[in-house]
Amino acid sequence: MHPSLYIVDLALLIDVGCFCTRYPSSVFYSILSSLILAGLFVYGTWQHFPTPTSSARLYVYVALGILGLTTLLELANYLYRNGIFSGRGAPRALVSFLSKKIPGESVPRITAANIQIILPRPVHVEPGQYINLWMPSVSLWLWTQTHPFTIISWSRGRQDTLKLLVQPRNGFSADLVRYGALPTDSSVLFLALFTGPYGLTEDVDPYETTLIIATGFGIATSILYLKKMIHGYNICTSQTRRLYLIPSVCALTTVLRPTEANEKEMILSISIYVEHGLANSRIPVGKYERICYYQGLPDYRKIILTEASGSQIERLPNIPDELGRTLVMVSASDGLRDRLRDIVRGYLHQGVELSELEYQPE
């Protein structure tokens, strides 16, 4: 290959690297640049074959064949999932907004966008999975971007509506929540195509106790696990006997309002830690005290030790009842995850395990 082509290739590679670090969502730019780079690579390799009839060319044909086939399969899967050519129309996203009155602000601030994607073909979703969402009509340049969001709706079978919870940030999500300020109806409809669902799901059934620690929008990743575990407990398909959720206040006010939590699901307890402003150090809510507000910061080491001891599970006297394993699931900021890794490492011998979920908020 001519040396100048190497220089162009290298310059492009550096450029793509910088751009993708800055704008990870610009799918159009990164795909286009990857195609140009791949083309240059194949051309360079081709030029290095000693003779035009070299048998080494076979390897290039095989590689190109595999690339073509996988691209075609992916495209077919994409078109099938989005119901293109099925006559049922493309998926639509119905977006509504959650807002909160902030003291000193005249209009309520939008704290989250709720997206409901109405699918032309139902899909099966496991807890913790996410989709890459493409909503080109939200604003001018959004046709170049896709964004990953965790699915928060769960059903045992296939779902024909997917629910997502979006935190307002600065790019796509900020453009989206701007529609919440319009003086029209409270929900807006957009065209929305997606790929996925992607991501691994954690097998939670073998654990007797699951402790879920979520900060901010990490709660979105945990909701499906909670629903699945409560369902598994109700139909006796899982060994779960206790679920303990520690969300941050911000997440709770937007997603799990205390009055909506099902008190009868006796395996679920929720603790909310508030730094200041409580009249007492502990304020239980509801008849069964399944939800409790605490003043101060959680002592994670103490909490994990108490859960691992099994003392929070009601056990019948005189009946042998083996202590089960404990799973600590986390979707939280880097600093908190580091601390939890450190704590759990000390209790591995007591059957405590840590699972870091697919989405970790900053």
Q: Which of 81, 147, 163, 241 binds ligand FAD (CB under 6 A)?
A: 147
Identify the CA nearest to 177 among candidates 119, 115, 132, 116.
115
Restricted to residues 182-221, the positions that interact with ligand FAD (CB under 6 A) are 217, 220
Identify the CA nearest to 92 among candidates 186, 195, 191.
191
Specify the DSSP class assigned to residue 352.
E
Residue 200 Cβ vs ligand FAD, minimum distance, rounded to whole Å = 11
**Residue 21 is a binding residue for ligand FAD (CB under 6 A):** no
Residue 131 Cβ vs ligand FAD, minimum distance, rounded to whole Å = 9
Q: Which of 93, 127, 130, 159 binds ligand FAD (CB under 6 A)?
A: 130
**Residue 134 is a binding residue for ligand FAD (CB under 6 A):** no
**Residue 358 is a binding residue for ligand FAD (CB under 6 A):** yes
Residue 207 Cβ vs ligand FAD, minimum distance, rounded to whole Å = 23
- In sequence order, the 6+-apart residues with CB closer than 8 A to the CB of 29 are 16, 19, 20, 23, 144
Residue 195 Cβ vs ligand FAD, minimum distance, rounded to whole Å = 12
Strand partners, 166: 113
Site string for ligand FAD, 159-188 (x = CB under 6 A): -----xxxx-xxxxxx--------------
Residue 227 Cβ vs ligand FAD, minimum distance, rounded to whole Å = 15
**Residue 44 is a binding residue for ligand FAD (CB under 6 A):** no
The answer to whether residues 91 and 194 touch, using CB atoms and an 8 Å cutoff, is yes
CA dihedral (222, 223, 229, 230) positive or negative: positive
Q: How far is it, in rounded angstroms, from Cα 251 to Cα 229?
A: 20
Residue 331 Cβ vs ligand FAD, minimum distance, rounded to whole Å = 9
Kindly determine how many residues on this chain lie close enough to bind ligand FAD according to the rule CB under 6 A: 22
Residue 201 Cβ vs ligand FAD, minimum distance, rounded to whole Å = 12
Helices (H), 161-309: 172-177, 219-234, 249-254, 300-309
Residue with token string 């029209």: 184
Smaller CB separation from ligand FAD, 254 or 326: 254
**Residue 30 is a binding residue for ligand FAD (CB under 6 A):** no
**Helix (H) or strand (E) run with residue 165 in it:** strand 158-166
Smaller CB separation from ligand FAD, 149 or 207: 149
Identify the CA nearest to 330 among candidates 304, 302, 295.
304
Restricted to residues 218-247, the positions that interact with ligand FAD (CB under 6 A) are 220
Which residues in 246-281 are b (16+ Cβ under 10 Å) and which e?
Answer: bbbebbbbbbbebeebeeebebbbbbbbeeeeeeee
AA identity, residue 296: G
Smaller CB separation from ligand FAD, 216 or 324: 216
Identify the CA nearest to 350 among candidates 326, 330, 329.
326
**Residue 65 is a binding residue for ligand FAD (CB under 6 A):** no
Residue 316 Cβ vs ligand FAD, minimum distance, rounded to whole Å = 40
Q: Footprint of ligand FAD on this chain (CB under 6 A)?
A: 24-25, 130, 147-150, 164-167, 169-174, 217, 220, 358-359, 362
